[in-house]
């Protein structure tokens, strides 16, 4: 598999300064090994902290069940599903799979047009405040991955259009940092109670112009 690696920067919260990182247009064995050996143990520790802090199970992150190795195996070789990852300090800091084929736009002004649908996106546990990593180690991963989705959308002729279903803890990020349109809770039982967000071509331009930053 040929992988294109682009230089990006994350914000190192502890040092209070940017740190050189890489955006990969793939999810390879290296990222999956990080997920198994680094993410999962940290996630279990975080769940233990949540439980001991008395946080109700319904407020634990839904993505705790995600099996990235299984997802990668299922989507391997399928042109419609592309993976992305962010690497920094020798470790995977975030991963994303997108679907470029099976979903269509819902916002009236671009209804039924093609878009890049963000199927799965997740930060490493140590970058997530909701897992009680406070402060998180790095910031900016979500923005870099969203920017990658927008750029992919442009490169395949979809003019920056992007859509996704948001986990509750991320609603504010997509509405405010990304400037996406919130179409509310999806009535489809496969997605409910997740909210559906969509980025129009104009919103994609605005997001990129402000530097894709939160």
Partner 1 sequence: MSLSKRTMTLNLTDAEMQVLEELCARKDLSKTALLRQALRLYQIVETRLEKGDKLFFEDDKKEKAEVMML
Interaction between residue 38 and partner 1 (CB under 8 A) = no
- Residue 194 CB, shortest distance to partner 1, in Å, is 22
Q: How far apart are CA 29 and CA 95, in angstroms?
A: 12
Contacts of 167 (CB under 8 A, 6+ apart): 61, 62, 63, 194
Spatial distance between the Cα atoms of 139 and 10, rounded to a whole number of angstroms: 6
The closest of 170, 167, 160 to 198, measured between CA atoms, is: 160
Q: Contacting partner 1 (CB under 8 A), which of 11, 151, 180, 212? A: 151
- 192 counts as binding partner 1 under rule CB under 8 A: no
Among 42, 69, 159, 177, binds partner 1 (CB under 8 A): 159
Work out whether 62 is an interface residue with partner 1 (CB under 8 A). no
Return the number of the residue (25 or 42) whose C-beta is nearest partner 1: 25
Residues, the chain: 214
- Tokens for 150? 């927008």
17 binds partner 1 (CB under 8 A): no
Binding site for partner 1 (CB under 8 A): 2, 4, 6, 23, 25, 78-80, 100-102, 113-114, 148, 151-152, 155-159
């Amino acid at each position: 598999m040929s992988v294109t690696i682009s230089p990006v920067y994350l914000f190192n919260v502890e040092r209070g300064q940017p740190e050189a990182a890489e955006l990969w247009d793939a999810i390879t064995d290296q990222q999956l090994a990080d997920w198994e050996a680094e993410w999962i143990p940290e996630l279990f520790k975080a769940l233990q902290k949540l439980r001991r802090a008395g946080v109700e199970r319904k407020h634990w992150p839904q993505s705790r069940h995600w099996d990235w190795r299984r997802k990668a195996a299922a989507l391997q070789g399928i042109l419609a599903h592309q993976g992305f990852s962010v690497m920094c300090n020798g470790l995977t800091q975030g991963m994303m799979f997108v679907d470029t084929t099976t979903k269509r736009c819902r916002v009236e002004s671009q209804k039924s047009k093609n878009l890049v649908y963000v199927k799965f996106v997740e930060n490493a546990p140590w970058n997530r405040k909701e897992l009680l990593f406070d402060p998180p180690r790095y910031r900016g991963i979500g923005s870099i991955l969203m920017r990658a989705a927008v750029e992919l959308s442009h490169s395949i002729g979809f003019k920056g259009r992007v859509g996704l279903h948001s986990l509750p803890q991320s609603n504010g990020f997509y509405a405010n940092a990304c400037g996406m349109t919130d179409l509310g809770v999806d009535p489809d039982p496969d997605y409910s109670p997740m909210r559906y967000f969509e980025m129009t071509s104009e919103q994609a331009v605005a997001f990129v112009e402000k530097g894709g930053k939160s």
